[in-house]
Structure 1
Amino acid sequence: MDIATLKMKGLLGPLTAAPEAPAGFPFGLGAVGLHEVAETAYGDRAAATGFVLAATRPAQAGAWLWVSQTRFADDLGQVPEAALRHMQGQPPPRLSVKVRTLPDALWVIEEAVVSGAVSLVIAEVEAADFTATRRLTLASGRHGVPVILLMPQTREGATAAATRWRIHPRPSAPNRYDPQAPGHPRWRAVLERCRTAPNAAGTVFDLEWNDETLSLGVVSGLAAGPAAPRPVAREAPSRRKAG
């Protein structure tokens, strides 16, 4: 369906300019601007996706666009609607696009932002150089549509994104009903880069997701302070697993 048809069906609507990025956690993730969320190691994609869905609360109503390169869509599958409901409560309509190449993915992302027809773009891409992230940053700021790039553990180098996060799963919280069962999911989120709060770069957040209150909080006693050196990433296929 084209954009006009989607608007007629009530899936898309007019949007207003996004607010300025806040200087506190999660530093505008999913609310304004371009952000990168990368795996710490091979196999961390589920944790990275869970972090994005838990931390993202778009400032505007409207459909989401989820863009996936074929290599990730085939290896990892798509996030099911049940997962979106679990993390977002009443999730917005989601449009999914699968493309083969990185240039195609970047084109789709930018066109979606420029159209103003969606409230958020989440994209699983293999890379994005400084020029590409600069274009997306400018488009996002001009049209008020935030963008999140989900990226593999090999992500390094310069970026124009507002933030770059590095995510790794932690053991789940104790289950108060069954000590043998998993509890609330936990993640370690390292803020590698932050343009709105440069002094926060390198901060480690140990986080816990509460599926009863749909809230994300810092775990008392687990905050680790500055990030430890990260091992050199290796290129490898990735499978989405439980965070």
Structure 2
Amino acid sequence: TYGDPASIGFLLLALKAQSENTPSDAPILWATTRHQIHDGGCLFAPGLLAFNLDPNRFIMVTAKNDTELLWVLEEATRAKSFAAVVGHIQDLSFTQTRRLSLATQQGATPLFLHRPHHCQGASAAFSRWQIESQGSAKNPFDERAPGTRQLRAHLLRCRTGQTGSWSLEYETSTYPLLMVPAAANRKFAPHVASNTPRQPKGGHGFAS
């Protein structure tokens, strides 16, 4: 839905996983537009620390519009200077996503696109996710208090052919994500979502 913040949390978890799998001191480029900042605000440094992401690694870019932002994303992925590139962009044609896909391959730089819920159409992205928020898990110490965070992740498209939907539970200080069990007895709950497709290393594509 409009303004659902669960997708930002999922994106930060993806960046955290990327950082842990490919240790690097290279910066992370976070690019957005003036409209997006006015509408949804900026990243909050203490929030990044909660995900074990160093705010000092982030380079923030504010573009005037999506056209300028598209140029920033393409140049950044080709530069081979960033650990990852993130772009908040709305309308993209298939041709434009294809150009970005080629840029990620040439620059061997992971690219993540964060797009509003209403964006549709074909994409050349390696994978395409739709993220929804869910109510938190039960707090084992106080039933009136919220427990661990939960979200619903739908893998709509993946070049490997595997798609699906998962209810996921996470703490920002830990990784990986845990599958939410269907059984009522939660002591059998946590097991690693090891079958969840992961973003490939290097320049094999990008996620949207």
* TM range, smaller chain: 0.7 to 0.9
1:84 aligns with 2:44: no
Q: Which runs of 5+ in 1 are unaligned?
A: 1-40, 223-243
Maintained 8 Å contact 1:133/1:160: yes
Q: Which AA in structure 2 matches 1:155?
A: C
2:131 and 2:60 map into 1 onto residues whose CA distance is 23
Runs of 4+ in structure 1 deviating by more than 6 angstroms, as ranges, are none
Of 51-60 and 84-93, more deviation after overlay is shown by 84-93
- State how many pairs are aligned: 178
Residues 149-188 of structure 1 mapped to structure 2, 5 A cutoff = 149-188=113-152
Maintained 8 Å contact 1:47/1:167: yes
Deviation at 1:89, TM superposition (A): 5.1
Deviation at 1:150, TM superposition (A): 0.3
Deviation at 1:160, TM superposition (A): 0.3
1:67 aligns with 2:31: yes
Q: 1:215 aligns with which of 176, 196, 208?
A: 176
Maintained 8 Å contact 1:53/1:88: no
Measured at CA, do residues 67 and 184 of structure 1 come closer, stay the same or move farther in structure 2, by a change above 3 Å?
A: same
Ranked by relative contact order (alpha carbons within 8 Å, sequence separation 6 or more), the top structure is: 1
SS state at 1:220 partner: coil
Q: Deviations over 1:35-87 (max 9, x none)?
A: xxxxxx2132x100001112332225121000011111111111211111111
Cα RMSD, aligned residues only: 1.7
Of 46-55 and 175-184, more deviation after overlay is shown by 175-184
Deviation at 1:116, TM superposition (A): 1.3
Provide the residue aligned with 1:52 in structure 2: 11
TM-score (norm 1): 0.69
Maintained 8 Å contact 1:55/1:216: no
Provide the residue aligned with 1:191 in structure 2: 155
1:91 and 1:109 map into 2 onto residues whose CA distance is 20
Provide the residue aligned with 1:236 in structure 2: none
SS state at 1:154 partner: coil
Maintained 8 Å contact 1:63/1:95: yes
1:42 aligns with 2:6: no
Deviation at 1:91, TM superposition (A): 5.8
Q: Which AA in structure 2 matches 1:146?
A: P
1:55 and 1:216 map into 2 onto residues whose CA distance is 10
Measured at CA, do residues 175 and 89 of structure 1 come closer, stay the same or move farther in structure 2, by a change above 3 Å?
A: farther
2:78 and 2:53 map into 1 onto residues whose CA distance is 28
Deviation at 1:115, TM superposition (A): 1.3
TM-score (norm 2): 0.80
Maintained 8 Å contact 2:50/2:173: no
Measured at CA, do residues 135 and 60 of structure 1 come closer, stay the same or move farther in structure 2, by a change above 3 Å?
A: farther
1:212 and 1:60 map into 2 onto residues whose CA distance is 17
Deviation at 1:92, TM superposition (A): 6.1
1:79 and 1:215 map into 2 onto residues whose CA distance is 22
Deviation at 1:178, TM superposition (A): 2.6
Q: Which AA in structure 2 matches 1:143?
A: G
Measured at CA, do residues 77 and 110 of structure 1 come closer, stay the same or move farther in structure 2, by a change above 3 Å?
A: same
Q: Deviations over 1:129-163 (max 9, x none)?
A: 11111111111011110100000011111100001
